[in-house]
Amino acid sequence: MMNRSLLCALMLALTAMPAGAANLVKTYSYFSVGGRTLDDIQNQLSRNGPEVKSTGSRHPGATQMAFTTRISYAQSAESCRIADAAVTVKVKVILPEWRRPRKADPDVRLFWDTLSADIKRHEERHVEIAKNHARLLEDALKSIPAQKTCEEAKAKAAAVQAAELARHDQDQVRFDRVESVNFENRILRLMRYRMERVEAGQLPPP
């Protein structure tokens, strides 16, 4: 058994450790999808899915993101430096929810279970990309060397933030592009995998 005093010291040390870099605030919302057939579901997704400003079209899922940066400065007689920087990214994940009919065809249910899981995985990856860049932004801000004045320090911080957010946007677009190219093969592969697990008794029938 661990010595009680050692355990208390360890707990105090863990309590004193700083929180993980960058803060993520995540919420979910859902929109309804109806229909009995694959065509019905596809039409519902196209009609009811969230509209994405970057494409001007509706998607089967979306993630809204907002970065907030709080910076404190320390000024001395000769310079001004960034004393601390905290980046928060707020995300809202928008996902479809199927109002499943009682007598929906098993193949349609299998397709929906596969598709909805892939949509959620896709949007969660968008969240991870945003969180990674929030962490990079926070580290970059803290690494800015001292400037002659706080005005110069603020200008440098603004430039660093603009550059990191531009890289974030590029990574998000790149991820969507790759996912779009591989969509059909990925869904077919996932459906085969789910069906094999159903047949093996590892998943309940759709």
> Which structural domain range is residue 64 located in?
21-198
Query: Is 172 a domain residue?
Result: yes
Does residue 194 sit within a domain? yes
The β-bridge partners of 84 are 72
Residue 105 lies in a domain: yes
Please say if the pLDDT value at position 194 is more than 70.
no
Q: Does 56 reside within a domain?
A: yes
Give domain status of residue 59, yes or no. Answer: yes
Is residue 204, in this structure, part of any structural domain at all?
no
The verdict on residue 6 lying in a domain is no
Position 116 in a domain:
yes
pLDDT of residue 17: 34
Confidence of residue 11 (pLDDT cuts 50, 70, 90): very low
pLDDT averaged over the chain?
A: 83
pLDDT in the model for residue 114: 87
User: What's the structural domain count of the chain?
Assistant: 1
Question: Can you give the pLDDT at residue 46?
Answer: 87
Residue 94 has pLDDT above 90, yes or no: yes
Q: Is the pLDDT of residue 1 over 70?
A: no
Residue 80 has pLDDT above 70, yes or no: yes
Span 23-59, pLDDT tens digits: 999 999 999 998 888 888 888 988 888 987 777 788 8
Q: Return the percentage of the chain with pLDDT > 70, whole number.
A: 81
